[in-house]
């Protein structure tokens, strides 16, 4: 293992000079800098991470806590995680992957040991038990998702309320007066992750404003559950012509069932999905959808975090404005 001292000797300067070349914290003459850089290259020097962390009390590592659960939104989570990792690298940080398994202990461990300089939490619940810990430490953190009380926290999330409103608006504009909402699995609402409720809020209040009737039904993914749910909906509101789906694994079953029942999309019924673009474009009908901007969320979270680490930036809630893309699954209500 090549050390700083060896580089220094090779370049004929002192260790501190090499350190300053590396960090740029003091000015170094061009000739010296070049000589040092040359030595670094020749010797294949890489600073030792542990020593650096010890001396500077900075590990240059960001911890990312992902949910343990792999039953929901996996591609979204993965996309966020990858966006976090790549964005972090552009700022000189590496990413430590923590699972939700350890719960609050993981937060204690990481902050206590100086393993990471900061953390990003995904899948935050409304009343998450990790929040008090985050508030009680001076280690910067960013949440992806919105808890009930955001005071003293920085959060990044899609504006799900606006998302709900946007979906209703689009359908209402096309003349739909009876709209059914296929929601997440009941467990999601019970877990109080918040985003589902916020979407529903947005849907409901905009529906009321526009005089549109709304029926909301949570739904497990898969064909059987969707079949039951759809039957119930059409039984209660036979005049339903618009659907809003917020459950990736219910999208395809819904389309299949509608097809099977002879209801054409978009001629007879319209479907708006809230899902990643990839799902929307790969479905059997190209879906009008509001995208879940996974990449943007990940990138944004890292950027806020880095800002905090640099002493810039402050606590705030960033709600990403939803965008609805019209594709082939929505059209005017049938005459």
Partner DNA sequence: AGTCGATGTCGAAGCGCTTCGACAGCCTAT
Partner DNA sequence: ATAGGCTGTCGAAGCGCTTCGACATCGACT
Binding stretches for a copy of itself (CB under 8 A): 1, 44-54, 57, 59, 61, 64, 66, 68, 70, 74-75, 77-79, 81-82, 85-86, 89, 94-99, 101-102, 108-109, 112-115, 221-223, 249, 252-253, 256, 281-284
**Distance between terminal CA atoms of the chain?**
77
Is the link from the previous residue into 168 a cis peptide, with omega within 30 of 0? Answer: no
Q: Which is nearer to a copy of itself, 234 or 256 (CB)?
A: 256
Phi, psi of 177 (to 5 degrees): -115, -15
Minimum Å gap between C-beta 111 and DNA is 14
Q: Which is nearer to a copy of itself, 28 or 116 (CB)?
A: 116
Q: Which is nearer to a copy of itself, 205 or 295 (CB)?
A: 295
Task: Please tell me whether residue 122 adopts helix, strand or coil conformation.
Answer: strand
Q: From the list DNA, a copy of itself, none, pick the one residue 261 interacts with, judged by a Cβ distance below 5 to 8 Å according to partner type.
A: none
Q: From the list a copy of itself, DNA, none, pick the one residue 79 interacts with, judged by a Cβ distance below 5 to 8 Å according to partner type.
A: a copy of itself
Q: Which is nearer to DNA, 52 or 108 (CB)?
A: 52
Q: From the list a copy of itself, DNA, none, pick the one residue 66 interacts with, judged by a Cβ distance below 5 to 8 Å according to partner type.
A: a copy of itself
Task: Please tell me whether residue 258 adopts helix, strand or coil conformation.
Answer: helix
Q: Of 158, 108, 162, whose CA–CA distance to 137 is shortest?
A: 108
Q: From the list DNA, a copy of itself, none, pick the one residue 26 interacts with, judged by a Cβ distance below 5 to 8 Å according to partner type.
A: DNA
Q: Can you say whether residue 38 is alpha, beta or left, with left for phi > 0 and alpha for psi between -120 and 50 degrees? A: alpha
Q: Give the rounded distance of the alpha carbon of 332 from its chain centre.
A: 33
Q: Which is nearer to a copy of itself, 66 or 207 (CB)?
A: 66
Angle formed at CA 68 by CA 64 and CA 69, multiple of 5 degrees: 130
User: Site residues (CB under 7 A) for DNA?
Assistant: 1, 3-5, 12-17, 19-20, 22-23, 25-29, 31-33, 45, 47-48, 51-52, 54-57
Q: Which is nearer to DNA, 60 or 150 (CB)?
A: 60
Minimum Å gap between C-beta 309 and DNA is 13
Contact indicator for 326, 285 with CB cutoff of 8 Å: no
Torsion over CA: 188, 190, 296, 107 (sign) = negative
Minimum Å gap between C-beta 203 and a copy of itself is 26
Q: Which is nearer to a copy of itself, 63 or 207 (CB)?
A: 63
Distance CA 191, CA 73 (A): 15
Distance CA 47, CA 66 (A): 29
Q: Do β-strands 288-290 and 324-325 pair in parallel, antiparallel, or remain unpaired?
A: antiparallel
Minimum Å gap between C-beta 106 and DNA is 18
Minimum Å gap between C-beta 61 and DNA is 14
Q: What is each CA distance from 23 to 5, 226, 229, 256, in whole angstroms?
A: 16, 58, 60, 59
Minimum Å gap between C-beta 233 and a copy of itself is 19
Minimum Å gap between C-beta 95 and DNA is 20
């Amino acid at each position: 293992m090549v050390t700083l001292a060896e580089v220094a000797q090779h370049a004929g300067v002192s260790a501190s000079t090499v350190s300053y070349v590396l960090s740029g914290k003091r000015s170094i003459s061009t000739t010296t800098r070049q000589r040092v850089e040359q030595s670094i290259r020749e010797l294949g020097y890489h600073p030792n991470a542990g020593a650096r962390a010890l001396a500077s009390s900075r590990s240059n590592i960001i911890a990312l806590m992902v949910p343990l659960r792999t039953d929901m939104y996996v591609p979204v989570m993965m996309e966020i995680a990858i966006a976090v990792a790549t964005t972090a690298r552009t700022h000189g940080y590496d990413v430590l992957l923590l699972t939700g398994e350890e719960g609050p202990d993981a937060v204690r461990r990481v902050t206590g040991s100086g393993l990471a300089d900061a953390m990003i939490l995904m899948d935050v619940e409304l009343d998450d038990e990790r929040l008090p810990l985050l508030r009680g430490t001076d280690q910067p953190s960013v949440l992806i998702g919105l808890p009930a009380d955001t005071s003293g926290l920085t959060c990044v999330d899609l504006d799900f309320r606006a998302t709900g409103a946007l979906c209703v608006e689009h359908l209402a504009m096309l003349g739909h007066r009876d709209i059914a909402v296929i929601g997440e699995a009941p467990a999601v609402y019970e877990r109080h992750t918040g985003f589902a409720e916020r979407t529903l809020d947005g849907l409901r209040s905009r529906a009321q404003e526009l005089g549109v009737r709304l029926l909301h039904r949570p739904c497990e993914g898969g064909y059987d559950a969707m079949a039951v749910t759809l039957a119930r909906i059409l039984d209660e509101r036979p005049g339903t012509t618009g659907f809003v789906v917020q459950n990736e694994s219910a999208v395809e079953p819904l389309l299949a069932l509608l097809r099977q029942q002879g209801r054409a999309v978009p001629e007879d019924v319209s479907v708006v999905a809230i899902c990643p673009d990839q799902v929307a474009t790969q479905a059997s009908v190209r879906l009008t959808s509001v995208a879940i901007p996974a990449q943007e969320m990940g990138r944004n979270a890292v950027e806020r975090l880095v800002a905090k680490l640099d002493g810039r930036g402050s606590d705030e809630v960033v709600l990403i404005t939803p965008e609805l893309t019209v594709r082939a699954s929505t059209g005017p209500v049938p005459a």
